[in-house]
Structure 1
Amino acid sequence: MKKILALIVVAVAMQAHAEEESDSDLPEWMVDKITPVHSRVSRWVSSTSRGLDGFFGTDDSLRVENQSYLRLSQEFEWRETEDFDTDTSLRFRLDLPTTKERLRLVIDSDPEETQGTLEQQGSQSLRQDQTDRRNSVVGLDRLSSRDKTQNWATKFGAGVKLRFPLDPYVRMTTERLWDVGDGPWQLESYNRLSWFDSDGYSARSRWDFGRPLDEVRHFRFITNFQWQEDVDTLEFSETIELNRRLSRRSAIRYAGVMVGNSSSNPRINNYYLLTQYRRSLHKDILFMDVIPELHFPRDSNFDPRWAFTLRLEMLFTGDIQEPRD
């Protein structure tokens, strides 16, 4: 299995070094199948979001940038000593930018509050109930208009988890971006406080410190903290990451991660290395991620354990650029 993973990484990296004239890796017959479906769904996303925005907002809804999207992904996962697994995820966001108070309707099958501990998130593994679609949420976010490079950008949201009985939630998110000194270093902060009726309170914070090394490479230090009432312990992770753009359609990430918990008596639960290769398979609407990982978990006496994830993702949006979360 180790040789297979190595061959896959080498093959995709060698392919990416050649800058293709085409915007697609797909055969013509597959393009003919995908294009009509993608066009219909993207038009529906755009017309629905702009129609609702026009109803609640102004006539400018037909002209302003709208970052509504639907993202469908399919993951195939393998972990040493465990069974092969698959997972389907759907994220749908309707943006209403011209309303008096900017609103965003969110339908999410994989909200961050249901993704388990930091160790489970990092290893691509999920809690037992994560594959249960009852974790999907639908809600409304109110966005501040503040520029996060000048002030804290704050977002308030509320909604329900789609289960019976309905599970209400509220949450607040803050973001900030600073330039550090006169150099190219930047520090970005993302923080969220949430409450779900079934799970109680949770809090998470991410601090991202990085800089570009040149036109194609970017270096980052990422620190995460997380606390969940049902787990009732403070978790933390430290990541060193190098991102490199291989071509206009592909990029690769190398990362080393340390995951632990407790503030009074820190304990490291897992070390792991990963490589993530991402490629646009077709005109920036169909993407592929190849992610081999090597873990050293405490529960196996830090003996090495291999993991591998293949992810396919399709993006439906009415606007040209890819929307950001």
Structure 2
Amino acid sequence: MLGWLSVLCSSAIMNVAMANESDSDLPQWASDRIEPTRERVGAWVDSTSRNIDNFFGTRESMSVENKSYLRLGQELDFMEGDGVDAETTLRYRIDLPTAEERLRLIIESDPEESQGTLEEQGSGRLANDQRNRRSSVLGLTWLEDRDKREHWSNDVSAGVRLRLPLDPFVRFTSERLWHLGESPWQLESNNRISWFNNDGYSARTRWDIGKPLSDAQHLRFITNLQWREEEDTLEFSEVAELNHRLNDRSALRYSAIAIGESASHPRMTNYYLQTRYRRDVHKGVLFADVIPELHFPRESSYDPRWAMTLRLEMYFQRRIQRNYF
């Protein structure tokens, strides 16, 4: 499957410039091949999540909107001096909208705690040896019924990471959103403290301030702090980001990122510039990303190093969601 997906991606990217205002860049024969698979797997994902939701929630689970999906991806990563890496990824989201309002079942394929260092998270280019293919978690979360625009919104989760031996975890998350006076600026804070039996404690905080520049552009400045017991190092990053929606199916993101570490003797470990082009190749189902980067890492005396990521993602779900930018 992934082999012909790669061929389709290459063909689609070459034809983007010639694409009309339809909802697909693929030839008809490729569309005819994708759609039955997408509908069959999407229906299975939807029915499975609704059955789980019905068990923990109410009978309305069969009629309310459900945003569960399965995401299959393939990517090629190139870093100057390191060569090319290829990886296949499988991610999923199980949505349980009618489960108890405050006590919810959580099923995650890619928890925040497994996503590596801030440098890897910031670039979107997680190295193969940093990805945890057994990072799925299962548990319960207690939610506060509070609007984060008016109060701090908190939740407490507990469960296990699904690998042998089972890895219990507990985590606390707190979020807040402020509108800064009468201005268009918004400030959002997201904070989490976690404990995993095998990895120990971790803490992270994210402060995101931004405003729309137009209907198609949005400016953001993001500050991240992260500490993990297994590394015992405070990491920090500063990101300036401009998001530009080109049309209903394409978007660009321009980023300037600085990464550092240590609280007692702070030092910068990497600076880099990144552009991310994302294209809805086929009807909100198949997406392609092209991510060129220019790094200035401390380990190479800040000499520039080029990097490139090519990524293809296919979403399986019953109701197509198009806002993946």
- TM-score of the pair, normalised by structure 1: 0.88
Q: In the alignment, is the contact (CA less than 8 A) between 2:76 and 2:84 conserved in 1? A: yes
Residues in 1 aligned to 2:308 and 2:85: alpha-carbon distance in whole angstroms: 11
Residues in 2 aligned to 1:275 and 1:248: alpha-carbon distance in whole angstroms: 19
Q: In the alignment, is the contact (CA less than 8 A) between 2:285 and 2:320 conserved in 1? A: no
Cα offsets for 1:281-325 (capped at 9, x unmatched): 01111111100000000000000000000111112223343588x
5 Å-filtered alignment, 1:153-192, equals 153-192=153-192
Change (3 A) 1:136 1:64: closer
5 Å-filtered alignment, 1:36-55, equals 36-55=36-55
**1:75 CA displacement:** 1.6
Partner of 1:61, secondary structure, is helix
Residues in 1 aligned to 2:149 and 2:309: alpha-carbon distance in whole angstroms: 35
Matched, 1:213 2:201: no
Percent identity of paired positions between Structure 1 and Structure 2:
58
- 1:242 maps to what in 2? 242
**1:151 CA displacement:** 2.2
Cα offsets for 1:201-245 (capped at 9, x unmatched): 011111110000111111110100000001111111001111111
- 1:34 maps to what in 2? 34
Residues in 1 aligned to 2:15 and 2:323: alpha-carbon distance in whole angstroms: 29
Cα offsets for 1:146-192 (capped at 9, x unmatched): 32222222233233223321222222222221111101110111111
Residues in 2 aligned to 1:13 and 1:191: alpha-carbon distance in whole angstroms: 42
Partner of 2:226, secondary structure, is strand
Is there any run of 5+ residues in structure 2 with no aligned partner, and where? 1-11
Cα offsets for 1:125-158 (capped at 9, x unmatched): 5466434523343444444433222222223323
Residues in 2 aligned to 1:42 and 1:173: alpha-carbon distance in whole angstroms: 31
Change (3 A) 1:86 1:125: same
Residues in 2 aligned to 1:57 and 1:316: alpha-carbon distance in whole angstroms: 23
Change (3 A) 1:231 1:127: farther
Change (3 A) 1:200 1:49: same
Residues in 2 aligned to 1:184 and 1:103: alpha-carbon distance in whole angstroms: 34
Q: In the alignment, is the contact (CA less than 8 A) between 1:95 and 1:104 conserved in 2? A: no
Partner of 1:43, secondary structure, is helix
Letter in structure 1 aligned against 2:107: V
Residues in 2 aligned to 1:25 and 1:144: alpha-carbon distance in whole angstroms: 44
Change (3 A) 1:49 1:190: same
- 1:230 maps to what in 2? 230
Residues in 2 aligned to 1:191 and 1:83: alpha-carbon distance in whole angstroms: 36
Q: In the alignment, is the contact (CA less than 8 A) between 2:179 and 2:186 conserved in 1? A: yes
Partner of 2:99, secondary structure, is coil
Q: In the alignment, is the contact (CA less than 8 A) between 2:241 and 2:255 conserved in 1? A: yes
Cα offsets for 1:20-47 (capped at 9, x unmatched): 3210011111111111111111111211
Higher alpha-carbon deviation: 86-95 or 315-324: 315-324
- 1:88 maps to what in 2? 88
- 2:67 maps to what in 1? 67
Q: In the alignment, is the contact (CA less than 8 A) between 2:15 and 2:25 conserved in 1? A: no
Is there any run of 5+ residues in structure 1 with no aligned partner, and where? 1-10
Higher alpha-carbon deviation: 195-204 or 298-307: 195-204
Partner of 2:83, secondary structure, is coil
Partner of 1:247, secondary structure, is coil
